[in-house]
Structure 1
Amino acid sequence: MTTAVTNSRHDLAGGHAAVAARARQVVKAYGAGETRVVALDGVDVDIMAGQFTAIMGPSGSGKSTLMHCLAGLDTVTSGEIRLADTEITGLKDKKLTRLRRDRVGFIFQSYNLLPTLNAIENITLPMDIAGRKPAREWLERVVETVGLAGRLKHRPTELSGGQQQRVAVARALAARPEIIFGDEPTGNLDSRAGAEILGFLRASVDDLGQTMVMVTHDPVAASYADRVLYLADGSVVDEMRSPSADQVFDRMKDFDGRGRTS
């Protein structure tokens, strides 16, 4: 199932959005013989540039596996993954590592901040390691977008959970990657802090032109996205455009206890 449809909330100029990431007939299996488990079963999907895509599904549906394969964090058993025009499924480890460093951003449920560094040092750390200087104007825009201007000299222990995740979001944005992947990025936050982070992710798409892909189980989080993809039994079985939280919740109820929908 190919799902490359122009989105209504955030169309790009001319009405034809570019494809930021693409999966074609992707299979991901673990084990062999009777113990073989198929996590992704012939997935076809396009992730459009400049849009916010949420990936949802019941436990074991393959949503995190799909994100990890799209991001180059995991290999596929068969099929093809492309990041823009680059096929990543055949890349050697060194080239794949460089591609992830230079072109992909990540936000995880755990903040992964270094406790000995302050906020701005944590934000620029990946670029420092790569020997690149951040563009000052862009960095200032990112810091302003996530509301960290008054906290840059604070270390993680001096920040709340929500503020630490803001640092993680800014770190992902600072290198200006082509695409950012978030794995349950609000999973460790209360509803208020989670809403703030989701607002920042939404703003990064609308105001900074970022491409965002987020795995989530939360209908409220998914409602911030332009498009929601639903996985069941390792396949994309449905999608929704600019949904409300109630619409997402009602759709997810169809999966409860039943796996693939009819």
Structure 2
Amino acid sequence: MTIPTAGGSGERSAVAAAARTVTKAYGSGETKVLALDCVDVDIASSRFTAIMGPSGSGKSTLMHCLAGLDTVTEGRIWVGDTEITGLKDKRLTQLRRDKIGFIFQSFNLLPTLNAAENITLPMDIAGRKVDRDWFERVVETVGIGGRLKHRPTQLSGGQQQRVAVARALAARPEIIFGDEPTGNLDSRAGAEVLGFLRRSVDELGQTIVMVTHDPVAASYADRVLYLADGRIVDEMQNPTAESVLERMKSFDGRGRTS
């Protein structure tokens, strides 16, 4: 199915996920809250996209809707060529398992499994054979080759998050979503994990979408989307920590600034 163009008439690069006129409302009547307000966005394949905005701007809601973790009130969402709005629960679960990877602020590793077993767990559950060459390449990319036999309690926070990153990459999903993936890490460990995510895009061709409030984290991305009041109000290509910080300072919460 063809994804409608998100405004403009120029050619678009390959799209890993897309939203068209997406609205997400909570409550009704006087208590109704619009978390997303008619959002159009394309997420380019093999690129690193960061989503930023003030608290309550809708950035996590947008990510959850794009990932099929939350439903939309109005509008349409695609992952690759598959429209996920209206999919039955079983089909949506299968699509998330086969095409989407997740990295969360909490590492979500099983304490009874070692690092290697945690990495291959999603594929084991799905009954899929592990591609050993790809597994070894991912392990090398995130730098945990010497820790594969260790259980989570034997790993530092940074090492646990590297395992979580490897788990997301190992299944070769079409797109990986990260919700504040370095939020529980100190600055050094956070920089390491962000470096691995950057390398996964540059060297492995991965597509990553990351919600963050940190200008330094956002500077690892190719593109930053800014949300305010449930709308995308600006974007920045090839960001630096300084340019992101300046843009955030200029927010008035109501959209573009002069």
Which TM-score bucket, shorter chain as reference?
Answer: over 0.9
User: CA offset at residue 134 of structure 1?
Assistant: 1.2
The separation in 2 between residues aligned to 1:247 and 1:100, in whole angstroms, is 34
The separation in 2 between residues aligned to 1:5 and 1:147, in whole angstroms, is 43
Q: Does 1:260 align with 2:255?
A: yes
Say whether the 8 Å CA contact 2:229–2:253 is kept in structure 1: no
Superposition pairs of residues 128-147 of structure 1, within 5 angstroms: 128-147=124-143
Aligned residue pairs, count: 253
User: Could you say what secondary structure the match of 1:24 adopts?
Assistant: strand
Residue by residue over 1:115-165, the C-alpha shift from the partner in whole angstroms, topping out at 9 and shown as x without a partner, is 000000000001101111111100000000000100000000000000000
- Taking structure 1 as the reference length, the TM-score comes to 0.93
User: CA offset at residue 261 of structure 1?
Assistant: 3.7
The separation in 1 between residues aligned to 2:204 and 2:102, in whole angstroms, is 16
The separation in 2 between residues aligned to 1:20 and 1:123, in whole angstroms, is 23
Superposition pairs of residues 1-262 of structure 1, within 5 angstroms: 2=6, 17-255=13-251, 258-262=253-257
The separation in 2 between residues aligned to 1:3 and 1:176, in whole angstroms, is 30
User: CA offset at residue 258 of structure 1?
Assistant: 3.9
User: Could you say what secondary structure the match of 2:145 adopts?
Assistant: coil
1:158 to 1:244, Cα distance in 2 relative to 1, 3 A? same
Paired AA for residue 183 in structure 1: D
Say whether the 8 Å CA contact 1:2–1:46 is kept in structure 2: yes
Aligned Cα root-mean-square deviation (Å): 1.7
Q: Unaligned stretches of 5+ in structure 1?
A: 7-14
Paired AA for residue 84 in structure 1: G
User: Could you say what secondary structure the match of 1:90 adopts?
Assistant: coil
Say whether the 8 Å CA contact 2:228–2:253 is kept in structure 1: no
User: CA offset at residue 2 of structure 1?
Assistant: 3.9
User: CA offset at residue 17 of structure 1?
Assistant: 2.5
1:237 to 1:258, Cα distance in 2 relative to 1, 3 A? closer
The separation in 2 between residues aligned to 1:38 and 1:71, in whole angstroms, is 19
Paired AA for residue 255 in structure 2: R
Say whether the 8 Å CA contact 1:198–1:221 is kept in structure 2: yes
The separation in 2 between residues aligned to 1:203 and 1:2, in whole angstroms, is 29
1:39 to 1:124, Cα distance in 2 relative to 1, 3 A? same
Say whether the 8 Å CA contact 1:4–1:47 is kept in structure 2: no
1:258 to 1:234, Cα distance in 2 relative to 1, 3 A? closer
The separation in 2 between residues aligned to 1:109 and 1:3, in whole angstroms, is 33
Paired AA for residue 248 in structure 2: M
The separation in 2 between residues aligned to 1:5 and 1:149, in whole angstroms, is 47
- Taking structure 2 as the reference length, the TM-score comes to 0.95
The separation in 2 between residues aligned to 1:55 and 1:140, in whole angstroms, is 30
Residue by residue over 1:55-114, the C-alpha shift from the partner in whole angstroms, topping out at 9 and shown as x without a partner, is 000000000000000000000000000011110001010100000000000000000000
Q: Unaligned stretches of 5+ in structure 2?
A: none
User: CA offset at residue 260 of structure 1?
Assistant: 3.1
Say whether the 8 Å CA contact 1:17–1:50 is kept in structure 2: no
